[in-house]
Amino acid sequence: MPFGSFKDVLKDAQQKGYAVGQFNINNLEFTQAIVEVANEEGAPVILGASEGAIKYMGMEYTAALAQVAARMSRVPVLLHLDHGGSFDMVMKCLRNGFTSIMIDGSHHPYEENVAVTKKVVEACHAIGVHVEGELGRIGGVEDDLSVDAREAALVKPEEAVEFVQLTGIDALAPAIGSAHGHYVGKPELAFDRLKEVRSLVEVPLVLHGGTGIPDEDITKAISLGVSKINVNTENQSAFTDTIRAIFDKNKEVYDPRKYLGPGREAIKEAVRAKIRLFGSAGRY
């Protein structure tokens, strides 16, 4: 089928109380694994492409991979810019047929975040493309924040209300203490913030940094109103660990298919577990 609609898949998730997985793509094998398992599980799926991944694969290849995957699919497949950093980048993605955009202005002061997000929303909405914005700061685990810095990075619920109103975004990623990459200790999600934001804004909420959050915390976040969860590192690790084990066992292997194939299978099983955990299996 053609690409799915960001607003439609998230609306269904929000109404029925599950979360759609955004799984980032890094190459052909990631794209195949994610979309194959989404079809096997009957789950909608968002392919996330970061600026780094787009630079690595090339814009045209990124878009083409996702388009072919969607066309061969019986479940909704989307292509979403992950953490877009500039208006220029957004324009390039729109030209190449991305279904939705995340503009991440969270490293700017609040007013600038509002301004760049609003500008992106106006351009995207003019051609029917939906937009996710970020408020507060979702760091990397290497950031190792102090308690005060962590508190300062969390979303401010009253700001979230204004941010949604001023920008017109279709989904909000509020910083609630999750981070990108492998966690050093146990992640502490600020569920009280999440609850408050959920009660104040109507747009679907997004949880970034899905790798390494305990299953019960994922389930709780969904029950408190998260409708989209992003995962990348866990799939990267599954892929690389599998390939490393093959190399450790057999130093003679040279045919890429002999290790990329098993790597792709490992991504499939990691994504399958997340799709089931998120409650998105069997929806389509």
Would you please indicate which residues are annotated as catalytic (active-site) residues? 82
211 interacts with ligand 13P by CB under 6 A: yes
Kindly write out the interface string for residues 7-46 of this chain, putting x where it contacts ligand 13P by CB under 6 A and - elsewhere.
-----------------x----------------------
Please state the closest distance from residue 221 (CB atom) to ligand 13P, in A.
13
CA distance to 6, 69, 217, 218, 222, per residue, from 13 (Å): 11, 22, 18, 15, 10
208 interacts with ligand 13P by CB under 6 A: yes
Place of tokens 């130093």: 251
Please state the closest distance from residue 127 (CB atom) to ligand 13P, in A.
23
181 interacts with ligand 13P by CB under 6 A: yes
Q: Collapsing DSSP states into helix, strand and coil, what is residue 4?
A: coil
Place of tokens 């204004």: 162
Distance, CA of 243 to CA of 35 (rounded, Å):
21
275 interacts with ligand 13P by CB under 6 A: no
The residue (of 183 and 246) whose beta carbon lies closer to ligand 13P is 183
Joined tokens for residue 283: 């929806």
Judged by CB under 6 A, the chain residues 74 through 93 that form the site for ligand 13P are 82-83
230 interacts with ligand 13P by CB under 6 A: yes
100 interacts with ligand 13P by CB under 6 A: no
Please state the closest distance from residue 249 (CB atom) to ligand 13P, in A.
27
242 interacts with ligand 13P by CB under 6 A: no
H-helix segments, 72-204: 87-95, 110-126, 147-153, 157-167, 191-200
Radius of gyration of the CA atoms of the chain, in A? 18
Q: Is the backbone of residue 175 left (phi > 0), alpha (psi -120 to 50) or beta?
A: beta
| Residues making contact with ligand 13P (CB under 6 A) | 24, 48, 82-83, 180-181, 208-211, 230-234
